[in-house]
Structure 1
Amino acid sequence: MQKTYIHQIILAALGIMVIIMGVMIFLYPTSIFPDSCWGFQVLRKMQMGGGFNIAIKPDPSDVSKDYAEFLTWWSPGQYLVPYFFQSLFGINIGQASAVTSTFFTLLGLAGFYSFFRKVGFTPIIASVSVAVIACQQAFVIPYVFYNGGEVLIFGFAGWFLYGCATIDKTGWKLAVFLLLSGCLGFFCKSSFLWMYGAGCIYLWLKLSSGELNIWGWIKKGIWIAIPAIASLAVIYIFYLSKGQNPASGGMGIKLTWETFSFPLASPILAGLSVDDILHGLIYHDDVSILNPFWSLITLLLSAVLSVLLIIKIVRYFPNKKYTLLLVVFYSVSVVFFGYNFLRQANISYEARHFRIIGLLITPGVVYLISKWGPFYRVAFGLICFGIAFLSFKYFAAGYKQNKTENARGTSGLSQMFIDQPSLNYIMDLDRKNTNALFVFISPDLALEINHNRFITLDPIDSDIAIDYDSYVHQGHAGPIFILLPASYMGPKSNIIRKCFPGYKGFRMEMLSNDYVLYSAK
């Protein structure tokens, strides 16, 4: 087979695979990450006449009243894009989320392939690189859980990098590109701002490389700074200034081994799915595989290997556009996240925050492997096959649970934290009442409430220690329905009921073996 057709076959196979998975989750939509749940709650209020991006909630000081809060913690694209598809095709939000994930996955694959070709990689290297990207667990997560901004920024980032690599001179095209890309990237995901800053630094270094005096560098910097500042001003004035975000605030300075080693290790952790496969080295969303000691050893080793890998790519790959961009983005990520980890900002130690680094380094790794001997190629192929197998296993198990085990309501989304009989009962209560108050400990369940108000409380840990002031809701406002897992029966349910002192004489109903409902009038 001629090499000229191999890359086309790879790309076609990837496209077909994504479309098949997209059809599968359209027929049986995914579960949803909590971050996206809050956005869809805002969307529901907007559809009922609320203002743009305004979360309307029962007031904890008096639940008979509401208070409004501008949702700055997450970007609006995570719910507005699915709403666009929902309105366009007349489908439910679960199906619209499936269309969103499929469309932006295809857009991302096309964008990164185009970017890899633009910075000097051959069609074979570029196509193999996007195939390696498709092996990662992060690639299939949107087909198990709708993760909002994560899949949106994947679809946008490759084209942003392509634009950065394409622009070779100052002018109106540069200004328009920076002005629009800042706003569009933030619309997809708020954390794009650090990538935007890295892109601006890269453009300044690239465009100024031929200048022999400081004034030339300053002029090029002005061309970049003016549209970038204008874009950031729009984002700040109309969005970020209205509330808190993950990077705002902090809990004080704390320097640990993980503070800078985690961002330094991002090429290995994100590029080879190490953090996902091990269920998180530092932050665990599942049962941890390694104990703290071996997690730290793995992290430090990954940091050393990552730095050496960056050095090797910069040394051997001839295209300086790519190597400069790789170094700039890697350096900015280490500084940005290291600083925020140092001051204990509300940013978790998860490789998903560094996915762009894993995506950027992939063609460089594939290029190096292609230049080494057969042993290294076979070893790398086996590693990719192993990652792909684990990713497929993750998708297959998640899809089966979403399709056959989880409950579904009016949203169409797969509900993990309730069974079907209990959800049917809750939806029936919602239809029969118009002034009721529903209380959940998971934000996704609120998406099934269409006629009444709801409150989402944080789950209570096993040590049963809570900040009572952050849980308590004073006052009275019609009947109240508190849905809890059966495991909460006892001290935990007592605590939650006491958080609503305006209600007395709670009645308990076992909706199923796993869920209990406490109600009071």
Structure 2
Amino acid sequence: MIKNNKLAHLILGLTLLVTLITGVFSYVAPPAIFPDPSWGFQVMRSMEMGGGFNQLVSPSQNNIAQNTSMFLTWWSPGQYLLPYLFKTLLHVSTGHAAVITSVFCELLGLLGFFAFFKKIGFTPLLAACSVAFITCQQFFFIPYSFYNGGEVLMFAYLGWFLYGCFHFKKVSAGMLLFVLVAGWLGFFSKSSMMLIYASGLLCMWINISPPRKNYGVWIKNGLAIAIPFVLSVAGIYIFFLSKGANPASESAGSWRVIWETFTFPLASPLLAGFSVDDLTKGLVYSPDGQIFNHFWTVVILLLLAAVSVWLIISIVKHVPYRQYKLLVIVFYVASVLFFSYAFVRQLAISYEGRHFRTVGLVVIPGTLYLISRSKAVFKVLFGFLWLFIAYSTFIRIHSDYSYNKDEATRGNSDLAQQFIDQPTMNYLLKLDSEQRNAIFAFVSADLGLEIQHNRMITIEPIGLNVKVKFEDYTYKGHAGPLHIMLPADYEKNGRAKFLLKCFPGYKDFKVVKLTKDYTVYSAK
């Protein structure tokens, strides 16, 4: 036992060391940023320039000479507030603050899951192996290539939250305080944590209540948990969500049932826990185009769903830890029901494995437990699977790091910019340094972060052959020089001309084309 414990801590130590070393490389070449946290960082920029808490300040569409302020409720605030803290305390750039945030969250998350897996019943060695398996997957290292905001914060929080859900054995003041604060901290990390929050508290309720049908105790325990839960959710709604729209409030209106509606949630253990969605570059939702056509996507999802259901049943049947079985059942069922409903209602939630990350993470130690007690041939096959996942992750991270280090465009933020080249970036930074009353407009949310001395506008991108409403893009009035940076392909289908007309207060645009890929349109 002592030997196994030493091996467990060695595996954990090496895992933490690899995470830290990767973070050092990422600090040398800071990552790019996903669109969601780009909007959060725009709020951070507004706050740095004197705006209020969580206020996105930008030129008004009714009069571009004036500003309008919007309380950003679509995404949780932690994705930019934690980097803002590191940026303020350590006096580093936005890109470096993002890296520090990722390293901090990854290390904290690994320790949290190691502690939780032991708490739930697994041996230290199996808990350490589970943590090591987590670090071999693409989603774990993505923040070092593309800062993903709430995803990495949720990883830091999740293990410790689950630990707390199974720590308490009876109703106490500490438990009530935990329930109250856990909701706020969870929402701070990522808004989708609210489903995880409710599922975790359901596990807590069942776990602290007697197995026999003592309804009085069950009701008493339920009320004790429900009161701080309601207060926590009410605080989140009153002081945050009620001030604007969010993904749960946006719907296409109609209902839609397709094969993916139910098979994708059912297949979530494999999609999210074993990198299937990452390895296929997005089985259903892929910005760069799907690998498989619709027929084969449905066939693969049906197979994955069947294997996932079999895996869950096997875990519940053969893993001896009661608390762990409870965890797997509650989170899998809650995830399938919620996301199936969300997909049917066509809420603004994409078919991506990252939304099911919790389910994927909690099935890992159970899977390793089953493998450890299986025949040698299955252990060997799983070992090859593990190596394949780790190798694909290394290739992805090496490729992303090489791009960020040697090819990426960089400006004031130190972030790797994907949608602009260096000559165009240098030209815009020169304009920004020379002027103080100009407005810069971009069709990517991350580019405006480079503007330090002037106001900026983020325009919703326009795809080819997509009908848009003129009034949605119009900015009336006039206020100093205007500089619009667009990809060169916006000249197709008249998209560039359309956007220039959306600023009726400006005429006679000067066209500056430093490279073949991007164009700057300027008017005084």
Same fold (TM over 0.5): yes
Whichever residue aligns with residue 167 of structure 2, its letter is T
Contact kept? 1:171, 1:223, Cα under 8 Å:
no
For residue 338 of structure 1, report the CA deviation from its aligned partner: 1.2
> What is the CA–CA distance in structure 2 between the aligned matches of 1:216 and 1:11, rounded to whole Å?
40
Deviations 1:133-158 (A, max 9, x none): 11111011001001111000000000
Q: How does 1:235-254 map to 2 (within 5 A)?
A: 235-251=236-252, 252-254=254-256
Q: After superposition, give the CA deviation of every residue in 1:340-393 in whole Å (9 maximum; x if it has no partner).
A: 111111000100000011100000000000000111011111111111111111
Counterpart code for 1:41? Q
CA distance in structure 2 between the partners assigned to 1:342 and 1:206 by the alignment? 32
Indicate if the aligned counterparts of 2:166 and 2:207 stay in contact, CA closer than 8 A: no
Match of 2:273 in 1: 271
Deviations 1:236-259 (A, max 9, x none): 111001000011131121122211
1:497-516 to 2 correspondence within 5 Å?
A: 497-516=500-519
Partner Cα distance (1:12, 1:215) in 2: 46
Aligned equivalents of 1:498, 1:155: Cα separation in 2: 46
Contact 1:77 1:187 in 2 (8 A): yes
Report the equivalent of 2:130.
129
1:153 corresponding residue in structure 2: 154
Q: Distance in 2 between matches of 1:516 and 1:177?
A: 53
- Cα deviation for residue 66 of structure 1 reads 1.5
1:405-438 alpha-carbon deviations (Å, 9 max, x no partner): 1111111111111111111110111111111111
Residue 62 (structure 2) aligns with: 61
Unaligned runs of 5+ in 2: none
Give me the whole-angstrom Cα distance separating, in 1, the residues matched to 2:245 and 2:62. Answer: 21
Letter in 1 for 2:198: G
| Alignment correspondent of 2:26 | 25
**Match for residue 178 of structure 1?**
179
The equivalent of 1:216 in structure 2 is 217
Equivalent residue number for residue 433 of structure 2:
431
Contact 1:406 1:418 in 2 (8 A): no
Alpha-carbon distance in structure 2 between the residues aligned to 1:281 and 1:470: 32
Aligned with 2:506: secondary structure? coil
Deviations 1:278-316 (A, max 9, x none): 111211122321111111111111111111100000001
Task: Give the partner amino acid of 1:508.
Answer: V
Show the counterpart of 2:142.
141
Q: What residue is the counterpart of 1:287 in the other structure? A: 289
Q: Which runs of 5+ in 1 are unaligned?
A: none
SS of the residue corresponding to residue 518 of structure 1 reads strand
- Structure 1 residue 28: deviation in Å? 1.4
Partner of 1:364 in structure 2?
Answer: 366
Off by >4 Å, runs of 4+ in structure 1? none
Following superposition of structure 1 onto structure 2, how do residues 1-12 of structure 1 map, counting pairs within 5 Å?
2-12=3-13
| Structure-2 separation of matches of 1:111 and 1:95 | 24
Pairs within 5 Å for 1:75-474: 75-251=76-252, 252-474=254-476
Hey, what's the Cα distance between the residues in 1 that align with 2:452 and 2:405?
Answer: 23
Name which of structure 1's ranges 472-481 and 235-244 shifts more when overlaid on structure 2. 472-481
CA distance in 2, matches of 1:265, 1:122: 27
Mapped to 2, the partners of 1:2 and 1:373 lie a distance apart of 24
| Residue 482 (structure 2) pairs with residue 477 (structure 1) | no
What is the letter of the counterpart of residue 219 of structure 1? K
- What is the distance in 1 between the residues matched to 2:86 and 2:217? 47
User: Structure 1: which amino acid aligns with 2:249?
Assistant: S
Percentage identity across aligned positions? 49
Look up the SS of the partner of 2:247 in the other structure: coil
Kept in 2: contact 1:460–1:492 (CA 8 A): yes
Amino acid in structure 1 at the alignment position of 2:518: Y
Provide the TM-score with structure 1 as the length reference.
0.98
1:100-135 deviations in whole A, cap 9, x for unaligned? Answer: 000100001100011111111111211111111111
SS at match of 2:486: strand
Q: Secondary structure at the match of 1:375?
A: helix
1:508 aligned counterpart, secondary structure: strand
Q: CA deviation at 1:17?
A: 0.6
CA apart distance, 1:464: 4.5
Partner of 1:493: 496
| Aligned partner of residue 64 in structure 1, secondary structure | coil
SS of the counterpart of 1:263? helix
State how far apart, in whole Å, the 2-side matches of 1:267 and 1:226 are.
32
User: More deviation in 401-410 or 462-471?
Assistant: 462-471
**Cα deviation, residue 173, structure 1:** 1.4
Offset from partner CA, 1:194-237 (integer Å, 9 cap, x none) = 00010111111112233533222110101100111111111111
Question: Following the alignment from structure 1 to structure 2, what is the Cα–Cα distance between the partners of residues 87 and 420?
Answer: 27
The 3-state SS of whatever aligns with 2:66 is strand
Verify the 8 A CA contact 1:281 1:296 in the aligned structure 2: no
> Does the Cα contact within 8 Å between 2:58 and 2:456 map onto a contact in 1?
yes
- Secondary structure class of the residue paired with 1:68: strand
TM-score scaled by length of structure 2: 0.97
- Counterpart code for 2:520: L
| Secondary structure of residue in 1 paired with 2:7 | helix
Q: Secondary structure at the match of 1:368?
A: helix
Q: For 2:30 and 2:154, how far apart are their aligned partners in 1? A: 21
**Distance in structure 2 (CA, Å) of the matches to 1:380 and 1:515:** 47
Q: Which range is displaced more, 159-168 or 280-289?
A: 280-289
Give the Cα separation in 2 of the matches to 1:166 and 1:413.
40
Q: CA RMSD in A?
A: 1.3
Superposed displacement of residue 494, structure 1: 1.1
CA distance in 2, matches of 1:325, 1:478: 58
